[in-house]
Amino acid sequence: MVKRTDGTESPILAEADADGHDKPRVRYGELVILGYNGYLPQGDRGRRRSKFVLYKRTEPNGVKRSKHYIVQSPQTSKAILDANQHSISYTLSRNQAVIVEYKEDTETDMFQVGRSSESPIDFVVMDTLPGDKKDAKVMQSTISRFACRILVNRCEASKARIFAAGFDSSRNIFLGEKATKWQDNVEIDGLTTNGVLIMHPKGQFCGGNAKCGLWRECSVGGDVFSLRESRSAQQKGQPIYDESNVLQDGTLIDLCGATLLWRSADGLQHSPTKRDLEKLIDEINAGRPQCPVGLNTLVIPRKVNIGDQVNQPYVYLNCGHVQGHHDWGQDKSTGARRCPMCLEVGPVVTLCMGLEPAFYVDVGAPTFAFNPCGHMATEKTVKYWANVDIPHGTNGFQAVCPFCATPLDGSSGYIKLIFQDNLD
């Protein structure tokens, strides 16, 4: 197992047997941040990356609820001071708290997600900004430092459960006096300040027939509730008994500042690979699509970082015609252009392939593009994401392009592409 020193290496990205040879690792699934087209703008480094693969650990590190009791001063209680004891402290008043102790669970592996770069966090997630993120800076993050934890059954990889809040370096979780909390019979539970929201798709994510489900909130203890009136409202939602915190292929997890997509290992088996997507680009380019004005051959780039190259294709967002760069029909006052093929007036944007395979709901030709960013994908993929509401602000929702997080425009949020190709 790779030793973590300065917080830059992941503890589970490499594993070797006794002879030093890499051995096949069991993959549970992937967490992929919405808004990145394959990698972070600064590059993927250690635990800070656009997606995180969850592998079965060499040794289990999961925990499960053990016992709970009331204390007068939680900061000096034995469980809090013991750095080897996992515990959650629910502060009821200035001089009373409920401590819930957790014990080792040899049947589960635990993975933690949050903004903190401290060692207990396996996947460091920062706020996602829409569009081009090269020089983007977040003034104040709304993502919790220890946002959530996922426990995967080592024998049943399909049972990956999500819980709000993660354990800190002292193996503690603190819910302050103002945090939303409650006690049912003997068990105590609570919500984090901005909450951890989940959305299970209705139907199979792979295949393109799934629909957007309802957003729910997950508690510290793993129960599921309807949403609060606003993101950090004091009153919890209604308990949802027929839904659970078990992640499905395609479940979305919103951390209030970033949204993650869970792809199960089984689901990824039926999804395109990056090589599949590159082959699709090659097939379009092999058709030698032409620009009707410049009469030059257009080439869809295989790399995400695209420059102002001569053969770069552009799409007219109101009609879908794909052309090269030219000044014909340009209205310099508005920036809109008249399409030379159909004379429709509207915005023009660079066409770019969506290269993160996890966002695809099926395998096929990229015949559609998101409006207004121009990221290409399959028809079913584009239509699925155009109908998924992503939490935005304190109680709003909006559909976004999964490859760049740009809010979608137009009545549908996408456009069917019309290439002038295979003319020979």
What would the pLDDT profile of 74-114 be if each residue is shown by its tens digit?
A: 677 776 778 889 999 999 888 889 999 999 999 999 999 99
Q: Judging by DSSP bridges, how do beta strands 352-353 and 368-370 pair with one another? A: unpaired
- Does residue 78 sit in the same domain as residue 197? yes
Domain assignment present for residue 12? The answer is: no
The average pLDDT across 370-383 equals 96
By the 8 A CB rule, do 51 and 37 touch?
no
Which bin fits 110, alpha (ψ -120 to 50), beta or left (φ > 0)? Answer: beta
For 388-420, how does the pLDDT look when each residue is reduced to its tens digit (9 = 90+)? 999 987 778 999 999 999 999 988 999 999 988
- Does residue 231 sit in the same domain as residue 199? yes
Domain assignment present for residue 65? The answer is: yes
**Tokens 């939490």 found at:** 391
**DSSP three-state, residue 78:** helix
- Does residue 33 sit in the same domain as residue 62? yes
For 24-52, how does the pLDDT look when each residue is reduced to its tens digit (9 = 90+)? 889 999 999 999 988 887 777 888 889 99
Separation CA 418–CA 424 (nearest Å) = 17
- Does residue 337 sit in the same domain as residue 405? yes
Where in the sequence is the domain holding 200, given as residue range(s)?
Answer: 27-270
- Does residue 261 sit in the same domain as residue 288? no
- Does residue 191 sit in the same domain as residue 207? yes
- Does residue 224 sit in the same domain as residue 115? yes
pTM metric for this prediction:
0.90
Domain assignment present for residue 119? The answer is: yes
The average pLDDT across 140-147 equals 92
By the 8 A CB rule, do 323 and 314 touch?
yes
